[in-house]
Amino acid sequence: MAREGRAGPRRRPVEPFLWLLFSGGGMAAAVLVPVLVLLFGVVFPLAGGPPYDHLRAVAAHPLTRVALLGLAVLAFFHWAHRFRFAVEHGLGLGRLDRLIAPLCYGAALAGSAAAAHVLFLTL
Amino acid sequence: MTAPDDTAARYRRPVPVLWWTGRRPYLLFMIREFSSVFVAWSVVYLLLLVRAVAAGPAAYRGFMELSASWWMLALNVAALALTLFHTITWFVVTPKAVAVRVLGVRLPAFMVAGPLYTAWIAVSAFVVWLLVR
């Protein structure tokens, strides 16, 4: 707390790691999410989804579980990072970074734990 | 009154809270930033689907009925629009952020973005092939 001269996000050594998660999540989401939302969010509800047994087999495959967990963790941290700065810059709440940042990354952490639970303990 | 910068902050011109509504590029910037909310929602939605699939055929049917309700469809159409916006803006920005050099010459933007669009189409086609058979 002694080096508080220029208080701000750049002072924290964890920041580059958060930018890395943001970039990874941005890329994973860019490539994977639109087709999944198109199929499961729009096409299947209107035209009927895949048979249960097929969908279960695809979802339960180890590679699918790992891929979905990777997507979930990266996408949640992507959201946390972007939402943090969107709120801070867009609404002028930069001085509340010490409150907003832990809330955002904490939510991403909780979401990641929930994803791991669903994909590896429930399924 | 701990940080010396407080003095400078007092001389800064206050920025209106809705500064990004005035101009189109600013508005598009904020829509791009808030598209991340729909990225997160899409993943939450997929995890709810996986949870329903894990719970059995009846839960899966229930989830499909829920996903066909008008408000869930509307939410997911919005999610589709904004995640597409995310993908396109992400591929537009990446060549500016990532400088790929071959023999000391920086590759033009289209040679960085081109493989990204190709990968996007390939991955999407693979997912469709995996699920629609």
In a shared domain, residues B19 and B65 = yes
CATH number where B72 lies: 1.20.1300.10
Band the pLDDT of B18: cuts 50, 70, 90: confident
Residue B12 is assigned to a structural domain of this protein: yes
Length of chain B: 133
Task: Say how far apart CA B49 and CA B43 lie, in whole Å.
Answer: 10
Please tell me the total count of domains within chain B: 2
Q: Is the predicted pLDDT of residue B95 greater than 60, yes or no? A: yes
In a shared domain, residues B60 and B10 = yes
For residue B105, what are the domain limits?
98-133
pLDDT, averaged across chain B: 91
**A30·B116 Cβ contact <8 A:** yes
Task: Say how far apart CA B133 and CA B129 lie, in whole Å.
Answer: 7
Best A4, A6, A36, A105 member to test B by mutation, with max B CBs in 10 Å, is A36
In a shared domain, residues B76 and B119 = no
Looking at residue B103, what DSSP letter applies?
T
Residue B88 is assigned to a structural domain of this protein: no
- The answer to whether residues B20 and A86 touch, using CB atoms and an 8 Å cutoff, is no
pLDDT in tens, A20-30: 999 999 999 99
pLDDT in tens, B56-68: 999 999 999 999 9
Residue range A15-122, CATH number = 1.20.1300.10
Q: Which residue from B minimizes the CA distance to A59?
A: B50
In a shared domain, residues B12 and B74 = yes
Residue B39 is assigned to a structural domain of this protein: yes
| Strand, helix or coil for residue B106 | strand
Give the pLDDT of chain A (123 residues) as one tens digit per residue: 444 445 555 567 888 999 999 999 999 999 999 999 999 999 999 999 999 999 999 999 999 999 999 999 999 999 999 999 999 988 888 899 999 999 999 999 999 999 999 999 998
In a shared domain, residues B110 and B46 = no
Q: Which residue from A minimizes the CA distance to B57?
A: A52
Enter the ipTM.
0.90
Q: Report CA Rg, chain B.
A: 22
* pLDDT value at residue B19: 86
| Strand, helix or coil for residue B101 | strand
Helical residues (DSSP H) of chain A, grouped into ranges: 15-37, 44-47, 52-60, 62-90, 97-117
Name the region of A50 (left: φ>0; alpha: ψ -120 to 50; beta: rest): beta
Residue B89 is assigned to a structural domain of this protein: no
Q: Does B15 touch chain A (CB under 8 A)?
A: yes
Band the pLDDT of B4: cuts 50, 70, 90: low
**B33·A85 Cβ contact <8 A:** yes
Ordered by start, the domain boundaries in chain A are 15-122
A46 to chain B: which residues are within 8 Å by CB? 68, 73
Task: Say how far apart CA A29 and CA B36 lie, in whole Å.
Answer: 9
In a shared domain, residues B126 and B62 = no
